[in-house]
Amino acid sequence: MKEKSGVETQYRLDQYLQLALGISRKEAGKAIRNRWVNVNDVLVTQRDFKVTEQDKIEVDDEVITYSSKKRYFMLHKPKGYVSSHRHDGHISLFRLLDENEDVETLHIAGRLDADTTGMVLITDDGQWSHRIMRPGHNNDEESDVAKTYEIKLARPMTDEMISQLEAGVELRGDELLTKPAIVERLEDHSEKMIRLTITEGRYHQVKRMLAAVGNHVEDLHRMQIGHLTLDGLAEGEYRALTDEEVEGF
Ligand code: URA
């Protein structure tokens, strides 16, 4: 079994070969017994010999590697890119990542519509993305991850519309009211610019919420998820998250 020692994870040699080569534990044992495996340039014949991801492991003189380290990125999505690997008519936003990122293994923690801009989090850690996107995951509204959007509306925002969003609105086809949202007016003479913070991630949620109060979203931009802001990241650019940023969720 895998066990933690300090910061480095230790593996049995047969388990490491299994993970790195996608073979069975039995096949890994055979490779070790057949004296094909070197660890740090020394022949090893014990299946339970302990190794870490930092060791140099060779099978039949070929170096093999395995990394359990998960990957986390923040991307500033421009308009026109779709939040999926396939791109029916539009370009996938994964095309904005470097070719070497092994994009097929990555997924998006909270999609944006093709015409929405702003922050997208990308990872290969399913538990982490679930924590961020799952609506109401521990029945405590305060602890859900907040997402903040800047919105340009088709019509001026009335006080009545704001009160409705703050109280929760009924979305067509959904049983539950939306959770209370935070609405701020932005400096704009037309009164058509707002900032909206929600703690759920329902399908087309922002556009449906504004439609439910009799308005219409013209432009939508996600500026913040939880403690993360785009902070200087230009449209079309992405960067890896720091350990601290990842652990903040
Ligand atoms: N809500 C929407 O309606 N669209 C988005 O892209 C994100 C949130």
Same domain, 232 and 220: no
44-98: pLDDT as tens digits: 999 999 999 999 999 999 998 888 889 999 999 999 999 999 877 889 999 999 9
Same domain, 153 and 95: no
Domain-located, residue 210: yes
10 Å CB burial of residue 118 (0-12, 13-18, 19+) is buried
Query: Residues enclosing ligand 1, CB less than 6 A?
Result: 112-113, 116, 204-207, 220
Same domain, 54 and 76: no
CA of 110 to the centre of ligand 1 (A): 9
- The bridge status of strand 147-153 relative to strand 8-12 is unpaired
160-190: pLDDT as tens digits: 999 999 999 999 889 999 999 999 999 878 8
Across the chain, mean pLDDT equals 91
The whole-model pTM stands at 0.78
Domain-located, residue 152: yes
Domain extent for 77: 72-136+228-247
Count of all residues that appear for the chain in the document: 249
Residue nearest (by alpha carbon) to ligand 1 atom 2: 204
For residue 124, give the CATH number of its domain: 3.30.70.580
Same domain, 184 and 208: yes
Task: Report the number of distinct structural domains present in the chain.
Answer: 3
pLDDT at 3 over 60: no
Same domain, 29 and 151: no
Residue nearest (by alpha carbon) to ligand 1 atom 7: 112
29-38: pLDDT as tens digits: 999 999 999 9
pLDDT at 149 over 60: yes
Told to judge if 243 belongs to the known catalytic residues of this protein, a careful annotator would answer: no
Domain-located, residue 1: no
Same domain, 76 and 95: yes
Domain-located, residue 6: no
pLDDT value at residue 187: 85
Residue to mutate (ligand 1; options 79, 120, 121, 205; most atoms within 8 A of CB): 205
Domain-located, residue 29: yes
pLDDT value at residue 140: 44
Domain-located, residue 116: yes
For residue 39, give the CATH number of its domain: 3.10.290.10
* Euclidean distance between CA atoms 197 and 146, whole angstroms: 6
Domain-located, residue 5: no
Same domain, 103 and 217: no
Same domain, 84 and 40: no
Atom of ligand 1 nearest to the CA of 222: 7
Q: Which long-range contacts (CB under 8 A, 24 or more apart) does 177-185 make?
A: 178/202, 178/205, 178/209, 179/136, 179/141, 179/144, 180/141, 181/209, 183/157, 185/157
pLDDT, mean of residues 220-234: 97
For residue 208, give the CATH number of its domain: 3.30.70.1560
- Torsions phi, psi of 155, nearest 5? -130, 155
Domain-located, residue 184: yes
Same domain, 60 and 76: no
Same domain, 123 and 188: no
